[in-house]
């Protein structure tokens, strides 16, 4: 359970960094939805 919390903390931190990146580099914005959906799938798998 602690691992999941740590993972989610990392995801939040990564998304903040990624948000900064997309602000300066519009091209990388294309990757945001797929990254987000991958994270959602990962969270869903762990909750099963």
**48 confidence band (pLDDT: 50, 70, 90):** low
Question: What pLDDT is recorded for position 28?
Answer: 53
Helix pair 31-47, 2-24: axis angle to 10 deg: 170
pTM of the entire structure? 0.34
Per-domain boundaries in the chain:
2-47
- Gap between the Cα atoms of 42 and 22, Å rounded: 23
pLDDT tens digit sequence for 4-43? 888 888 888 887 877 776 666 666 555 556 777 777 887 8
């Amino acid at each position: 359970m602690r691992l999941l919390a740590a993972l989610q903390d990392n995801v939040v931190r990564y998304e903040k960094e990624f948000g900064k990146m997309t602000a300066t580099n519009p091209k990388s914005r294309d990757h945001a939805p797929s990254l987000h959906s991958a994270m959602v799938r990962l969270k869903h798998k762990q909750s099963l």
